[in-house]
Amino acid sequence: MALLTFKKGVHPHDHKELSKESPIQRFPAPKTVYIPVCQHLGSPSQPVVAKGDRVKKGTLIAKVTGFVSANVHSSVSGTVKDIVDIPTVFGNRAPAVVIENDGLDEKDYLSPLNSEDRAVLIERIKECGLVGMGGATFPTQVKLSPPPDKKIDILIINGAECEPYLTSDYRLMLESPESVIEGARIFLKILGAQKGYIGIEANKQDVYEKMDAILKDNSVLKAVLLKTKYPQGAEKQLIYAVTKRKVPAGGLPMDVGVVVQNSATAVAAYEAVKAGKPLFERIVTVSGSGINKPANLLVSTGTLVKDVIEHCGGLTEEAAKVILGGPMMGISVAELDIPVTKGTSGIVVLTDKEVQKEEYEACIRCGKCVDACPMNLSPFHYIALGEVKQYIECEKWRVMDCMECGSCAYVCPAKRPIVQFVKIAKQKVLAEIRRRGAK
């Protein structure tokens, strides 16, 4: 069978061998957890606990505040010590609920749900605070409630995990394929979609075979093998690979009748419905040559990155960069007192040798960025215009269609930080669009 894929993209070494073989282990929740009130994309949630409150695992501690928002739950049982501002991965500070763990592990789950009703299922997913666990952390219930004029006929479960190093989805799909499939069934019910695909990259052949064996008599759900290429797991690229449908520029997958959900989100949905378990823990890959013992850990949200790294034998002598997420789109952090959140798919530590330290050079117009860009854009323009502070001009070269996958910067022989300039350009263009709208 020919492998499904998209056009262009890059082939970074995946380094998954570092953590591929280590089964998921539970990382015991630390004495104190710092659970950020906002762990999702959208409006921040409102804390509903106060200092001194007693909470259990799964107790609601912050409530949704708008349509695009998500509940937050306690990941330990214990006492709320305070609500304080702590550093976030984005470099700013944001409120977090500090809970002292009493070690009793008492649970406060919702009751298991047997309903087939669409609205009830969506409500449950919303209650349990589900977000996209691939890293974007978009509230799941929003993705599952398309406006009535958008008919969804295809669901895709994203098991591509195209980021190098990360193996959290791989281990999850390998160890509990049934949960992924059950989660997919729940999504199918909610969406009323006729067809579901579980997209798996070819470097996870064993997962594909397992899924395929379970689904061989299933007429609705099907496992499909994708070419190992970055960014195979990007939403629009995945949809194109599986369905050959092209999401319009500036549009959403629902515009072509597709909804994509991460495989970890599917498992979370399954647990939310069948066990009433809110989303308060996730699998985190701790990997990279800068870490002593790479592992796949089930970590409670609010656990500090520092503690997780310590559990994995600490940083090596040469460790020089800590990335939350994968090395292509993840965010590097300066301090390790940052809590793991619902979107932390990995903690990747790179060594001094692997860090790009030299100054970037002039563009030699090799065109490799153009050949790599999965969105078919012209990345070289963004940095060239950015260097002369012509950020607004980037709009003409459709910078807003860029998803910041980093393929262009990855291939650039002059090591130009294209994505950095794209991020700035997008902000400036957005501000300009708003200004125009205000006129």
| Closest CB to another protein among residues 88, 141 | 88
Work out how close the CB of 67 gets to another protein at its nearest, in angstroms, rounded to a whole number: 25
Work out how close the CB of 380 gets to another protein at its nearest, in angstroms, rounded to a whole number: 7
| Closest CB to another protein among residues 269, 329 | 329
Query: Which residues of 27-77 form beta strands (DSSP E)?
Result: 32-36, 46-47, 54-55, 60-63, 72-73
Alpha-carbon distance 219 to 231, whole Å? 28
8 A C-beta contact, residue 25 and residue 298: yes
Bond preceding residue 164 cis, omega within 30 of 0: no
- Amino acid at the residue 279: L
Work out how close the CB of 55 gets to another protein at its nearest, in angstroms, rounded to a whole number: 31
Work out how close the CB of 429 gets to another protein at its nearest, in angstroms, rounded to a whole number: 10
Residue whose token pair is 């539970």: 26
Work out how close the CB of 241 gets to another protein at its nearest, in angstroms, rounded to a whole number: 12
Residue 417, both tokens: 């930080």
DSSP-based three-state secondary structure for 5? coil
Work out how close the CB of 247 gets to another protein at its nearest, in angstroms, rounded to a whole number: 6
DSSP per residue over 365-429, as a string? ---HHHHH-TT---HHHHHHHHHTT-GGGGGGGTGGG-----HHHHH-TT---HHHHHHHHHHHH
The binding site for another protein (CB under 8 A) comprises: 7, 10, 12, 164, 236, 240, 246-251, 315, 319-323, 327-336, 348, 350, 354-357, 361-367, 370, 374-378, 380, 395-398, 401, 404, 406, 409-415, 417, 419-420, 423
- Amino acid at the residue 258: V
8 A C-beta contact, residue 261 and residue 169: no
Q: Is 325 left (phi over 0), alpha (psi -120 to 50) or beta?
A: left
Minimal CA–CA distance to 59: which of 86, 83, 78? 78
Query: Which residues of 171-244 form beta strands (DSSP E)?
Result: 195-201, 221-226
Work out how close the CB of 77 gets to another protein at its nearest, in angstroms, rounded to a whole number: 31
